[in-house]
Structure 1
């Protein structure tokens, strides 16, 4: 029987991200790697021009994602090689991971890249059902409109023999466009960390910084084009576009693949 999902008041991000049972996004995504001492002034610029995500408190909110891949890291290498069509499967949780139970709502997501456009499709499920689908490889209870997507996920994990490979976590501040900038989303991700085992959300496991603590990831997501005011701002601040994947960084930080952008020393964080 499908359980009715409740959204805890302190579970930042859920209500905004799940007005329906199946979400689909088509967007362009641009990432910048910035120094953490730039974050405050850039956030002030965003506060002037954009609306803060209404479920983003002053201190930001946490995002935890478990990524699935093949034994030979097919999805990782598709990203590294820059294939025009590539995808990732993940379970994503917003909020305090230690408070997660089997009833906690999470998202099962397929994120794919088609040429320059990022497409994301996802459904919200109780955490226990998400694990049953992705780890147990069985169909789970669902709401109307979800079945086709769940069948696609089930086919992927079964046909490609996917398994949980890496976990990432970070603290996010998010801003939404208004008026002429509707569809624009700007996020700042800090304390980006990950691990390669113990993938249960509530596990008392060691995490490692996968992006240097002195760096943050600024990401711009747009439906059509980046506003002129932002490109001017990026030029004035000398912001450099980077190709960085948190999943790939986690894979590399733990030596699962033989390359790394940052060559970070081992360093643990909760």
Structure 2
């Protein structure tokens, strides 16, 4: 079954002290995400890109309409992964995801895109066609801790991502002992604000305290820092 989400998305880079301040305030007015723990939860993503790194280049060029294809799980002990197609369309982010078994996900990582044809969903067929037409291959794994807050009004979701690390040397998304290196200063946190329509006024007022412009860099681009000589 396909899970589908369409909403606006804004990103900011915060110092650690601002994260603690905002997180403390949000705990009083929003619910913590179901995955949530006091120190957040693990998110691990394996990104695919074309032979010529078209998705990376479109992000670097700042194109309004672009996409990312990734497998995502939630760290140690995961027995499945979500295959996601995330598309930016102007101010909106359209994300569709398909749940895959561990064995099917690893088969895809190893280059067997035909495993997608065993899934009846339209998204699986769409991804099979694109990944074959443009020779998509695994490129990098990104992992981080995430603390998330949600509100059912306007599908609001506010996340803080920290301890961002990754590797371009291994693509085993289920490896419990993956060797990774830091991609972001440990004193910085990425804030993502996602919503439909508009933000509720009390949340908007709180986030107005964020001192900084929107962040244009993506975790995927950060994860290609070695092969692309990328510097954040």
TM-score using structure 1 length: 0.80
> Is 1:37–2:17 an aligned residue pair?
yes
Structure 2 unmatched runs, 5+: none
What per-residue deviation string (whole Å, max 9, x for no partner) do you get for residues 147-194 of structure 1?
32111111121111010001100001111114xx34100001110111
1:188–1:218: 8 Å Cα contact kept in structure 2?
yes
Distance 1:50 1:142, change over 3 A: farther
The 5 Å alignment of 1:103-252 reads 104-133=79-108, 135-140=111-116, 146-178=120-152, 181-201=153-173, 202=175, 204-252=177-225
Distance 1:130 1:31 in 2: 29
Instruction: State the alpha-carbon separation in 1 of the partners of residues 64 and 209 from structure 2.
Output: 31
* Matched length: 230
Distance 1:151 1:91, change over 3 A: same
Give the superposition deviation at 1:141: 7.2
Q: C-alpha separation between the residues in 2 aligned to 1:127 and 1:36?
A: 35
Distance 2:30 2:118 in 1: 36
Distance 1:52 1:170 in 2: 17
**Which residue is 1:74 aligned to?**
54
Aligned-partner Cα distance in 1 for 2:144–2:42: 6
- Greater shift, 222-231 or 69-78, is seen at 222-231
Q: Does the aligned pair in 2 maintain the 1:67–1:166 contact within 8 Å? A: yes
Tell me how large the CA RMSD over aligned residues is. Answer: 1.8
State the distance in 2 between where 1:122 and 1:69 align.
17
Q: Which runs of 5 or more residues in structure 1 are unaligned?
A: 1-20, 262-270
Larger strand proportion, structure 1 or 2? 2
Q: Distance in 2 between matches of 1:149 and 1:49?
A: 36
Mapped to 2, the partners of 1:211 and 1:27 lie a distance apart of 26
In 1, distance between residues paired with 2:162 and 2:65? 28
Shift of the alpha carbon at 1:224? 1.3
Q: Aligned partners of 1:174, 1:95: CA distance in 2, in Å?
A: 16
| Corresponding residue for residue 30 of structure 2 | 50
